Amino acid sequence: MKLTSLVVPTFKQMLNTMSGWLDKAQGALGGEAERLLSVRLAPDMFPLSTQVRFACVQAWEAVCRLQGEDFPASINTLLDEGRNAGEHPGIIADAQARISETVAMLDSLAPDALDGDPERPIAHALPTGMIFDLTAEQYARDWTLPQFYFHLMTAYAILRSQGVDLGKADYVPHMFAYLRPGTWPTT
């Protein structure tokens, strides 16, 4: 499987899914939904607003790293917003805008945009000083997708913990495109 066909559809469908969760929260809670952006699962974890932004960061960073390009300023903006979200969570419209901007970037990619050499080395440095030496394929499989899903699932868990009525169908709505006709449960 080519890297573009693995990561781009995954990012797009799950970012759109997360957008749907925010819509559902806003529909159920109205103006009270804004408070959810400050909610954390644990005191030492980032709040919902950060989880949304960091999920977007994972998509942006993956595209840049897999293309061998420098990060645009937008990544630092997302990171700064995420790191400061405890004090400045923003509003749901801000979170939705970040998701939309990220999906638009993904939509702009060529069908083979990330399909360079899967063995190309990527040195992934963390702010802590640790550096991981990976191939492009290892980076996609072992870093960016797990990190993306970590932030996505943390957002889901925060929303669920606050009473937003989310279930499995809300987590995988893209799967209904594959549903065999006549197999939807009737009871």
Is the distance from CB of 170 to CB of 24 less than 8 angstroms?
yes
Domain that holds residue 19: 3-112+123-178
User: Among 44, 42, 55, which Cα is nearest to 13's?
Assistant: 55
Enclosing H/E stretch for 133: strand 131-135
CB 122, CB 136: distance < 8 Å? yes
What's the number of domains the chain is made of?
A: 1
CB of 171 closer than 8 Å to CB of 153: no
Task: State residue 101's pLDDT score.
Answer: 97
Contact 24, 16 (CB under 8 A): no
Q: Is position 183 within any domain?
A: no
pLDDT at 133: 98
Residue 30: inside a domain, yes or no? Answer: yes
For 65, phi then psi, to 5°, come to -65, -45
CATH of the domain at 162: 1.20.120.450
State residue 185's pLDDT score. Answer: 87
- Whether 61 maps to a domain, the answer reads yes
159: Cβ contacts below 8 Å, ≥ 6 apart: 21, 25, 36, 48, 166
CA dist 65 and 122 (Å) reads 7
Q: Give the separation between CA 85 and CA 36, rounded to whole angstroms.
A: 12
The reported pLDDT for the residue numbered 117 is: 94
pLDDT attached to residue 35: 95
* pLDDT value, residue 74: 87
Percent of the chain with pLDDT over 70: 100
pLDDT at residue 114, rounded to an integer: 97
φ, ψ for residue 121 (rounded to 5)? -70, 140
Domain contains 186: no
- Its pTM stands at 0.94
Distance CA 92, CA 108 (A): 24
Parts of the chain with a pLDDT under 70: none
DSSP class of residue 135? Answer: E
135 has which bridge partners? 121
On whether residue 187 sits in a domain, the answer given is no
Give domain status of residue 31, yes or no: yes
Cβ neighbours of residue 105 under 8 Å, at least 6 residues apart? 59, 60, 63
Domain membership flag for residue 70: yes
Q: What is the pLDDT of residue 86?
A: 83
The answer to the question of residue 164 being in a domain is: yes
**Rounded distance, CA 140 to CA 154, Å?**
20
- Cβ atoms of 143 and 23 closer than 8 Å: no
